Structure 1
Amino acid sequence: MSTIKFSSTETEQLVAKIQGYFAKELDQDLGQFDAEFLLDFFSKEVGAHFYNRGLFDAQVIIAAKLEDVSEMVQEGISEIEKPVS
């Protein structure tokens, strides 16, 4: 399984969030290196689960939109159908 790669800006933001969480919730200081290591660990070990959930959620939304479009197409075709005698 490949590791999710973040830009340097994203990494900085995520590391700051991890450090903030450790400070606030666990009352522990976490250094830059340790926070980056933890981010890499979670990215590698659980990142794919979050990624796949995002894909699943997107698929549900797209399927619903496609169903709406299909209904609109069917209605539009019904409106322009010629009567048959």
Structure 2
Amino acid sequence: MTVVKIPKEEREQLIQGIQGYFLDEREEEIGELAAGFMLDFFLKEAGPYLYNQGVMDAKKLLQQKVLNMEEDLDALRRPINLHERY
């Protein structure tokens, strides 16, 4: 399984967010190491679900774009009248 790579600055923000959550919601202080382990756990466990949801969202968006393009192309078609002569 591929581990999600997060840039250092973003990882630090996420760790601070986890620490803030524990302090605000549970009135517990946890260190950077514990928060980092928790982040890694959630990335490993929830990451594939979130990734798959992102893929499905992108697929739906592309399908809608293709449908819109088909409708736009159909609107460009010209009628053919076989009964008219030159």
Q: TM-score, normalised by structure 1?
A: 0.88
Structure 2 spans left out of the alignment, 5+ residues: none
**Partner of 1:43 in structure 2?**
43
Q: Where has structure 1 moved over 6 Å in runs of 4 or more?
A: none
Structure 1 spans left out of the alignment, 5+ residues: none
CA separation in 2, counterparts of 1:27 and 1:67?
51
Give a deviation string over 1:41-68, Cα, whole Å, max 9, x none: 1111211111110111111111111101
CA separation in 1, counterparts of 2:57 and 2:25?
30
- What's the secondary structure of 2:30's corresponding residue? coil
CA separation in 1, counterparts of 2:36 and 2:20?
13
**Partner of 1:31 in structure 2?**
31
**Partner of 1:84 in structure 2?**
82
Q: TM-score, normalised by structure 2?
A: 0.87
**Partner of 1:5 in structure 2?**
5
| Greater length-normalized contact order (CA 8 Å, ≥ 6 residues apart) | 1
- What's the secondary structure of 2:6's corresponding residue? coil
Give a deviation string over 1:13-40, Cα, whole Å, max 9, x none: 1111111111111111110000111111
Number of aligned residues? 83
**Bigger radius of gyration among the two:** 2
CA RMSD, Structure 1 to Structure 2 (Å): 1.2
